[in-house]
């Protein structure tokens, strides 16, 4: 069995556990506005790799954390990520018709309900985080730290800032420095926040925190570069989202600036850098999985 096959099997098992937690949480919700809940669940349970939650769990396990605690709390990240996808797909943003192999939320539920579904997922993420932290007897100081960490990763210090920079650079040929900055925030910050959630539930070593930040930066850039490559080489069917959208929106991408071959080389450099950042950690199954997740980025097809 190849490393990729073994990794996919492990990812699938963890993904099933994460989605079971998400499904359970959604089913517990008091339904006040049924159409809102339908739109939220439509996007939240539409599939996806659950990479951010998986990163959080493996980072926490690598730092000595408890799997049950991590598995209870990490899925809140999927609510944050799904909110961002719903809003990213809106006509005022990327105006995309497909996401995860299904019609985008606004295409099915309307732009108004989709916008509000994203808003609700964003705020419900904090409810899920706090509720599960309390169930698992996490201290108030750690809860506050987790909220601040994730807030900074998605708000005006993170993902949203990156999205604004991305929008401002449409129909422009930006340089590599600007492109790196866009994706450091738009893509990379939530990966880092996810890793730090796992770390903060498991460790207090500043050296480990810095190593995970560096890993997250490398992971985010390698992920984005391969995403840009797939937008050129993939199809809407294989990607599960609209292919060629970057060109349609006249966005600068790594392939448009560097070409495909140099983009692939740059992605490899980030993978090597990310793997090196984990050298301080004792060998473990979770460390191996984090290394293989980085390598997987170079071979992914969706």
Beta bridge partners of 103: 98
Buried b or exposed e, range 21-49, using 16+ CB within 10 angstroms? bbeebbeeeeeeeeebbebbbbbbebebb
Give the tokens for residue 147. 């909220």
pLDDT attached to residue 264: 96
Over residues 178-187, the pLDDT tens digits come to 999 999 999 9
Question: Does the domain at residues 3-297 carry the CATH identifier 3.40.718.10?
Answer: no
Task: Evaluate whether 294 touches 216 at the Cβ level (below 8 Å).
Answer: no
Lowest-pLDDT range of 108-117, 131-140, 290-299: 290-299
Over residues 137-176, the pLDDT tens digits come to 999 999 999 999 999 999 999 999 999 999 999 888 899 9
Percent residues over pLDDT 90 in the chain: 80
Over residues 86-95, the pLDDT tens digits come to 999 999 999 9
- Radius of gyration of the chain measured on its C-alpha atoms: 18
Report the predicted TM-score, pTM, of the whole model to 2 decimal places.
0.94
Task: Evaluate whether 39 touches 99 at the Cβ level (below 8 Å).
Answer: no
Sequence-ordered alpha helix ranges (H) in the chain: 3-28, 34-44, 51-62, 67-73, 76-88, 105-109, 111-135, 140-154, 159-168, 176-183, 189-200, 206-233, 236-239, 245-248, 254-258, 260-277, 285-297
pLDDT attached to residue 292: 95
Give the tokens for residue 11. 């990812």
At 138, phi and psi to the nearest 5?
-80, 140
Dist. CA 127–CA 301, nearest whole Å: 34
Task: Evaluate whether 96 touches 245 at the Cβ level (below 8 Å).
Answer: yes
Instruction: Using the predicted structure, report yes or no on whether residue 2 has a pLDDT greater than 60.
Output: no
| Average pLDDT of span 38-54 | 94
pLDDT attached to residue 30: 66
Instruction: Using the predicted structure, report yes or no on whether residue 34 has a pLDDT greater than 80.
Output: yes
């Amino acid at each position: 069995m190849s490393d990729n096959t073994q990794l996919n099997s492990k990812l699938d098992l963890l993904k099933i556990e994460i989605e079971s937690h998400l499904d359970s949480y959604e089913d517990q919700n008091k339904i006040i506005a049924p159409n809102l809940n339908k739109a939220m669940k439509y996007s939240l349970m539409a599939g996806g790799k659950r990479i951010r939650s998986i990163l959080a769990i493996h980072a926490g396990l690598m730092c000595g954390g408890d799997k049950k605690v991590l598995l209870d709390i990490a899925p809140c990240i999927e609510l944050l990520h799904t909110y961002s996808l719903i809003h990213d797909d809106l006509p005022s943003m990327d105006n995309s018709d497909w996401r995860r192999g299904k019609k985008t939320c606004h295409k099915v539920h309307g732009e108004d309900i989709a916008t509000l579904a994203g808003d609700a997922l964003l705020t419900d993420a904090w409810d899920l985080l706090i509720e599960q932290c309390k169930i698992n007897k996490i201290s108030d100081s750690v809860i506050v730290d987790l909220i601040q960490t994730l807030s900074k990763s998605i708000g005006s210090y993170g993902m949203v800032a990156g999205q604004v920079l991305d929008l401002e650079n449409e129909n422009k040929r930006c340089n590599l420095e600007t492109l790196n900055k866009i994706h450091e925030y738009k893509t990379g910050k939530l990966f880092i926040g996810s890793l730090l959630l796992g770390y903060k539930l498991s460790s207090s070593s500043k050296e480990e925190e810095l190593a995970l930040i560096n890993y997250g930066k490398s992971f985010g850039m390698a992920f984005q570069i391969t995403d840009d490559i797939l937008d050129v080489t993939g199809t809407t069917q294989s990607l599960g989202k609209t292919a060629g959208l970057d060109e349609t929106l006249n966005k600068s991408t790594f392939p448009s600036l560097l070409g495909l071959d140099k983009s692939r080389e740059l992605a490899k450099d980030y993978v090597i850098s990310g793997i090196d950042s984990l050298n301080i950690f004792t060998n473990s199954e979770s460390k191996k999985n984090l290394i293989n997740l980085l390598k997987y980025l170079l071979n992914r097809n969706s």
